[in-house]
């Protein structure tokens, strides 16, 4: 059974992806103006998001829909823990705090898991495929901006089980096939696409919540210069045959 959910997700979230790339946070990030304070605060929020997402996915690993996209080898929680220790120090657990936007993101994951678990497909798709795709470019920006030692501070975008680009591309094809072979009807497929757009919005709200920290870190003049204008979304330039976020 093939429902072409991979294409529906890719095409149905293009506008949301462009919206994410046009947040002030990402505009500064993509232009290399990334500072440790806003970055580590984003990591803190994402850690809480991934912790809950991976907890719920594990609980539902035998669910008829969720089980098909459950790939614990790409879990991010442990890798982000390494990042947080690097940026915050050994007492990082007592220092990280979610923004209100981060808390709403976490709550949505919990709500979906309890009421309509199939929609977790959307949450996993946006997060993990983004990390495997555009996240690889972000890793390069982070490493250069902070002059990082090898394998330090970029765990969010490092996949021990998929260390090479070829392995990552092969996995994304495998993930696409898993999406397309989900035994779901058109109604649920449309709900998953809608939820993916919700995920993008929740993620954007987290970045918006950190905007003042970004402004302080880069300076008002540079900030205003960098956020000027509207950028075309990178997904418009990608190969439509692959399930990628960037």
Per-residue confidence at 145, pLDDT binned at 50, 70, 90? very high
Per-residue confidence at 226, pLDDT binned at 50, 70, 90? confident
**pLDDT over 60 (residue 1):** no
> How far is 70 from 239, CA to CA, in rounded Å?
25
DSSP string, the chain: ----HHHHHHHHTHHHHHHHHTSHHHHHHHTT---HHHHHHHHHHHHHHHHHHHHHHHHTTTSTTGGGG--GGG--HHHHHHHHHHHH-TTHHHH----HHHHHHHHHHHHHHHH-GGGHHHHHIIIIIHHHTHHHHHHHHHHHHHTPPTTSS-GGG--TT--SHHHHHHHHHHHHHHHHT----HHHHHHHHHHHHHHHHHHHHHHHHTHHHHHHHH-HHHHHHHT-S-PPPGGGGS-TTS----
pLDDT digits (tens, 9 = 90+) for 158-180: 999 999 999 999 999 999 999 99
pLDDT digits (tens, 9 = 90+) for 40-79: 999 999 999 999 999 999 999 999 999 999 999 999 999 9
> How far is 158 from 12, CA to CA, in rounded Å?
27
Question: Region 85-102: what's the mean pLDDT?
Answer: 97
End-to-end alpha carbon distance in the chain: 27
> How far is 88 from 108, CA to CA, in rounded Å?
27
* Mean pLDDT score of the chain: 92
**pLDDT over 70 (residue 235):** no
Percent of the chain with pLDDT over 90: 85
The pLDDT assigned to 243 comes to 39
Which of the two residues, 224 and 121, has the higher pLDDT score? Answer: 121
The pLDDT assigned to 150 comes to 84
CATH topology of domain 5-229: Heme Oxygenase; Chain A (1.20.910)
pLDDT digits (tens, 9 = 90+) for 146-158: 999 888 999 999 9
- Going by C-beta distance under 8 Å and a sequence separation of 6 or more, which residues neighbour residue 5? 121, 179, 180, 182, 184, 189, 192, 193
Per-residue confidence at 238, pLDDT binned at 50, 70, 90? very low
**pLDDT over 70 (residue 101):** yes
Per-residue confidence at 242, pLDDT binned at 50, 70, 90? very low
Neighbour count for residue 151 (Cβ, 10 Å): 11
């Amino acid at each position: 059974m093939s429902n072409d959910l991979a294409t529906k997700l890719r095409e149905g979230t293009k506008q949301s992806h462009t919206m994410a790339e046009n947040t002030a946070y990402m505009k500064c990030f993509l232009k290399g103006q990334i500072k440790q304070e806003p970055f580590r605060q984003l990591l803190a929020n994402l850690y809480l998001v991934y912790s809950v997402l991976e907890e719920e996915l594990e609980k539902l690993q035998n669910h008829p829909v969720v089980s098909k996209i459950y790939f614990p080898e790409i879990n991010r929680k442990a890798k982000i823990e390494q990042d947080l220790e690097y940026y915050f120090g050994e007492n990082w657990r007592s220092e990280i705090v979610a923004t209100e936007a981060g808390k709403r993101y976490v709550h949505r994951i919990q709500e979906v898991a309890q009421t309509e678990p199939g929609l977790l497909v959307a949450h996993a798709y946006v997060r993990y495929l983004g990390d495997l795709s555009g996240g690889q470019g972000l890793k390069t920006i982070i490493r250069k901006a902070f002059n990082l030692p090898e394998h330090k501070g970029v765990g969010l975008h490092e996949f021990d089980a998929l260390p090479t680009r070829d392995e990552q591309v092969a996995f994304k094809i495998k993930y696409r096939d898993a999406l397309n072979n989900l035994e779901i009807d058109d109604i649920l497929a449309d709900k998953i696409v809608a939820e993916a757009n919700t995920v993008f919005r929740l993620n954007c709200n987290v970045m918006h919540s950190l905007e003042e920290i970004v402004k302080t870190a880069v300076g008002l003049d540079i900030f205003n210069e960098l956020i000027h204008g509207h950028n075309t979304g990178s997904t418009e330039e990608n190969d439509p045959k692959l399930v990628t976020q960037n």
